[in-house]
Structure 1
Amino acid sequence: MSRTKLFFYNSISTALLHIVTFISGFIVPKYMLVYYGSEINGLISSILQFIAYFNLVEAGISGAAVYALYGPLANADHSAISSIVSAAKKYYYQSGVIFVLLTVALAMIYPLYIKSTGLSSLEITLLVLILGINGCLEFFTLAKYRALLTADQKAYVISIASIVYIILNTASVMFLAKTHVNIVLLRAIVVLTIFSRTIILIYYCRTRYRYINYSSPFSPNLLDKRWDALILQILGVIHVGAPVIILTLILKDLKLVSIYTIYNMVLGGIAGILGIFISGLAASFGDVIARRQLDTLQRSYQEFECFYYSMIAVAFSVTFVTIMPFISIYTKGITDVDYNVPLLGFLFTLNALMYNIKTPQGMLVISAGMYKETRLQTFTQGAIIVVGGILLAPSYGIEGILYACIASNFYRDVDLLFFIPRNLTKLSVRLSFIRIARLFFNIAVSVTILKFLFPRQVDTYGQWATWAAIATIISSIVILTSAFIFDRQNLLSIHGRIRHILGGSR
């Protein structure tokens, strides 16, 4: 099957997954706010972020395993594939034990530091343990299969299994919340739905990859890149989790955590939509790099950069204009805290934009396994978030943390802008710089137009969706016109790829 076809299948399945995740991501927090309040919503978000940090004990195994599998899968080397999966399995089991111990430690310490008016210390302890079960299953059952399917460009299997799980999870939360079940019992029942994904992935991999020996001997240095991959993994966790951790430990305000997570939920939905268009591409580019096809890499990368920057220009043009009307509708009737803060809407959107600018370059770092070569820059980016957030949070609250995040992403954008052409694509830095400059110009033009057209008062989801659709059409016209004028060759190449996909493989 061609890389283009695999990209298509992965994109369609990922699109469905992100649609389901997008819908679930708005339903579940809403039910938490309505039936349990902002404090409980903030408490759960805080616990989940601590648990997310414990995932660092995975120590880059996934990234190293995926990278190590590119070559053997391309050459159909079954023996090497078995060795890599066997090594991943062993390391995941070892990491899983550490994860369990850390979760138990958190369950004992967290209630001593954070108090809730709605839950006792024992209930908070049980909640931590229950929320940690999902991570345990990842280490002991799913992780090795996820790495294998990702490297083999079969992310669509993961997507299908995840869709089943999310639907069951969301339906369970809705039903149990309406019946006013205690939040601890609710989470205990809901966690059982994760087994649906586990069963699907185990069945598929055991059937599709019958040749794999999960106990195959392997060299101790087989996944030597995992420690370098860990640095990049740390950055990802810091970027997502540091704000919530800082709000919890420095400001000790679970309602501020709830505000942060609601805004972040909206931008997470945007990230999910954008993720549709990059699903499986890291593996596809990894295959090209492994085969040393520089011409193909240069051509495909330029097409992707043109396509992706056009996509985020549309996405964030619309988001800048529509985020606050949506927040107002979503939190209507929630009176225990004020969620309507326009400055937060602007800063969250700007931060997400800055984060996504480096996606094309960051994807190539993963595809090429260049973790060691970028670890200093990765550490610096993480340090900016942590140090800046700790210093600014006491005076500026959530806004101060976002200032630190924006500065961190700006640093990494500039760094990767020069690193990738010099070390991988051998293309001119000027090409990417011009596309990024045009990205900001296109957003400025689109937002200016949309600000004049978008009504100041939007009261229902239907009205919001109608205006958001109109805004998307208008911004798409602006961005496509710009691409046609300034980047016509790549735009036409992208059009040709789309026609090829829709017309079938030759």
Structure 2
Amino acid sequence: MKIARTKNTVRNIVFGTILRIVNIVLPFVSRTVILYVLGTQYLGLSSLFSSILSFLSLAELGVGGAMVYTMYKPIAENDTDTIRALLNLYKKIYRIIGTVILVLGLCLLPFLTKIIHGDIPEDTNIYILYMIYLINAVLSYWLFAYKNALMQAYQRTDLDSKIALFITPVSYIVMLGCLFLTRNYYFYIIWLPIFTILTNILRCVVVNKQFPGLEPKGDVSKELKKSITKKVTALIGTKLNTVVLNAADNIVMSAFLGLTVIAIYGNYYYIMSSIIGFLGICYSAMTAGLGNSLQTETLDKNYKDFEKFSFINSWLVGWCTVCLVCLYQPFMRIWVQDEELMFPFVLVLEFALYFYVYQIRKIPITYKDAGGIWWEDRFRPYVCMIVNIVLNIWLVQVIGVSGIILSTVFSLFISIPWENYTIFKFIFHCSSKKYYFKMTIFFITMAVGGFITYWLCSLFSNGIPQLFARMGICLVVPNVVFILFNFKREEFKGTIILAKSILKREM
């Protein structure tokens, strides 16, 4: 059957956006409270433990992505038996994964103090804190994790967003309330696994009600198992590279620079990752619909959609990059109120470059995931990962935090042409020269708009009213420049038609 792709995508984006706002505001409040109540070292510990557990999540090794992709075809064919068998396999695998993460996490306990450079907060048992984080991670795999596959494959991630919109505010109210009353980090963090349990139970209830008759049952065929194994094998490298890209930075900084630097880096990265999360709503909302489209629509239609989505993505990513350059430091001065807790402007430019390079590749990656083109791309992640790790360890000792950021940017530069080659060869079956030419034009457009916007913003001094003035300039100028450069393009006309179609459906 065909999924109502546009309707589901819009619904997922709407609720995903609301959830993302909640997930930006509440953690921001939480980081601010911890910063002023407990200090920067606790923020550093939180970032470090999260990064370590990201490495432990390598036990998942791409199983989730492979299982969701495998469901696209039986959903399109309304093959209930195969869907139930896949869920049963998924359920067994995820419980094994949770156990592996627990064992690996316990094995790391003796080495915790060796990856923290400098002082640890007084009266803090890092082993107890780490165990709470570990238990929370394990529970997320043990308790109905496989239910997520149905929501993703049917393009109904809005259901998960609604659950989180109920649980997340309650959890932060309770956790911050305990922190204010006790000023003790233990009483704050102990609630993490409790709310993880509640979230997973509620998710199970909602999924069972929304998708009746799809309980895990039966066994998949040998042929399908072989196909899944091949895709998981190919995804191992992708998973490794993703985790190294996102988690290695904090671990390397902890070992060489200490918890305070991690905390400062974490504040800057938090802002960037919040924007990445907003845009990620669109990519995740699109993936299942694109997977269905690749199964049911013509190659020509899929390629035209790809061009249109790449145009929209370039517009959004370019605009957000300009905003980062112009607003990062003014916002940080208001937030942390201490120049010693801020990086120099050159690092802001590096963060902006990191963001742009990381995000501009998201549409090709989304199509690659939707098309299940992982085996054909299996060597790329290992090359990028090795380059990133080697440069991380070398450059952090030479140029500090800049080395961390630039090593990641360089590994992404290696990755982009490889990723694009894969999707153009195996999905669209055409040359990528036209695509690169357009992306170059879009980058030049962003650079021109960014230069004008930054010059106008530099006319204002520091302060909250001036920050809002800068925000107004960033809202108008780069978008006007982008429209003036591109309003005659077919992709721009297609974007207007798509926007009108979405608005008509929602009205």
Is the structural similarity TM-score above 0.5?
A: yes
C-alpha displacement at 1:434, in angstroms? 2.0
Identity %: 20
Pair 1:179–1:386, CA change in 2 (3 A): same
Q: Give CA deviations for 1:257-307 in whole Å, capped at 9, x if unaligned.
A: 112111110101111222233232111111122236312211211111111
Aligned to 1:247: 253
Question: In the alignment, residue 48 of structure 2 is paired with which amino acid?
Answer: S
CA RMSD of aligned residues (A): 2.1
Structure 2 residue corresponding to 1:134, chosen from 118, 122, 136: 136
- The answer to whether the 8 A contact 2:456-2:473 is kept is no
Name the residue aligned to 2:244.
238
Could you give the per-residue CA deviations for residues 66-110 of structure 1, whole angstroms, max 9, x where no partner exists? 110000111111000001111111110111111111222233431
Partners of 1:113 and 1:484 in 2: CA distance: 52
Tell me, in whole angstroms, the C-alpha distance in 2 between the residues paired with 1:321 and 1:185.
38
User: CA offset at residue 449 of structure 1?
Assistant: 1.0
Aligned to 1:500: 501
1:349: which partner in 2?
352
Name which of 101, 112, 136 aligns with 1:110. Answer: 112
* C-alpha spacing 1:462/1:279, structure 2 compared with 1 (3 Å): farther
Asked whether 1:287 is paired with 2:287, we answer: no
Contact kept? 1:7, 1:281, Cα under 8 Å: yes
More divergent stretch after superposition (469-478 vs 450-459)? 450-459
CA deviation digits over 1:390-448, x for unaligned, max 9?
A: 11111111101111111111111222233322221234412221222122211211121
Q: Distance in 2 between matches of 1:480 and 1:84?
A: 46
Contact 1:165-1:194 at 8 Å conserved across structures: no
Q: Is the 8 A contact 2:154 2:288 kept in 1?
A: yes
Tell which deviates more after alignment, 47-56 or 157-166: 157-166
| Cα distance between partner residues in 1 of 2:187 and 2:110 | 19
Q: Distance in 1 between matches of 2:183 and 2:132?
A: 15
The separation in 1 between residues aligned to 2:50 and 2:211, in whole angstroms, is 33
Q: What amino acid is aligned across from residue 227 of structure 1 in structure 2?
A: T
Against the structure 1 CA distance between its residues 45 and 456, is the aligned structure 2 distance closer, same or farther, given a 3 Å change threshold? farther
Q: Secondary structure at the match of 2:121?
A: coil
TM-score with structure 1 length normalisation? 0.94
More deviation, 71-80/223-232: 223-232
In structure 2, the CA distance between the partners of 1:458 and 1:205, relative to structure 1 (3 Å rule), is farther
Residues 190-216 of structure 1: per-residue CA shift (max 9 Å, x gap) = 442223421321111111222123132
- Give 1:163 shift: 2.5
Whole-Å Cα distance in 2 between the matches of residues 112 and 299 of structure 1?
A: 52
Q: SS in structure 2 opposite 1:276? A: helix
Measure how far apart 1:382 and its partner are: 1.3
AA aligned opposite 2:376: E
1:456 to 1:28, Cα distance in 2 relative to 1, 3 A? farther
Residue aligning to 1:481: 484
**Per-residue Cα deviation, 1:425-477 (whole angstroms, up to 9, x for no partner):** 23441222122212221121112111221146554445424421331221111
Residues 373 and 426 of structure 2 are in contact (CA less than 8 Å); yes or no, is this contact kept in structure 1? no
Asked whether the 8 Å contact 1:27–1:170 carries over to 2, the reply is: no
**Structure 2: distance between partners of 1:101 and 1:189:** 22
- Specify the alignment match of 2:77 in structure 1: 75
Q: Which residue of 2 aligns with 1:451?
A: 454
Map 1:397-436; keep pairs closer than 5 Å. Answer: 397-436=400-439
Of the three residues 468, 473, 480, the one matched with 1:470 is 473
Distance across 1 between alignment mates of 2:207 and 2:465: 42
Q: How does 1:27-426 map to 2 (within 5 A)?
A: 27-111=29-113, 114=116, 116-120=119-123, 123-219=125-221, 221=225, 223-224=228-229, 225-249=231-255, 251=256, 253-291=258-296, 293-333=298-338, 337-426=340-429
Q: Is the 8 A contact 2:373 2:422 kept in 1?
A: no
Contact 1:322 1:468 in 2 (8 A): yes
- Contact 2:376–2:422 (8 Å) recurs in 1: no
Query: Residue type matched to 1:360 in 2?
Result: I
Residue identity in the other structure for 2:500? R
Cα distance in 1 for residues equivalent to 2:43 and 2:147: 32
In structure 1, how many angstroms separate the alpha carbons of the residues matched to 2:474 and 2:215? 53
Question: Which secondary structure does the structure 2 equivalent of 1:143 belong to?
Answer: coil
Paired with 2:252 and 2:390, the residues of 1 have a C-alpha distance of 10
The one of 416, 439, 442 aligned to 1:439: 442
Instruction: Specify the code of the residue in structure 1 equivalent to 2:412.
Output: N
Distance in 2 of aligned mates of 1:140 and 1:80:
23
- 1:52 positional shift: 0.8
Q: 5+ residue gaps in structure 1?
A: none
Q: Relative to structure 1, is the Cα distance of residues 242 and 6 closer, same or farther in structure 2, using a 3 angstrom cutoff?
A: same
Task: Please give the alpha-carbon distance, in whole angstroms, between the structure 2 residues aligned to 1:267 and 1:454.
Answer: 20
Q: SS at 2:143's partner residue? A: helix
Return the TM-score normalized by structure 2. Answer: 0.93
CA contact (8 A) 1:70 1:286 kept: yes
CA contact (8 A) 2:179 2:187 kept: no
Per the alignment, do residues 482 and 236 of structure 1 end up closer, same or farther by CA in structure 2, a change over 3 Å counting? same
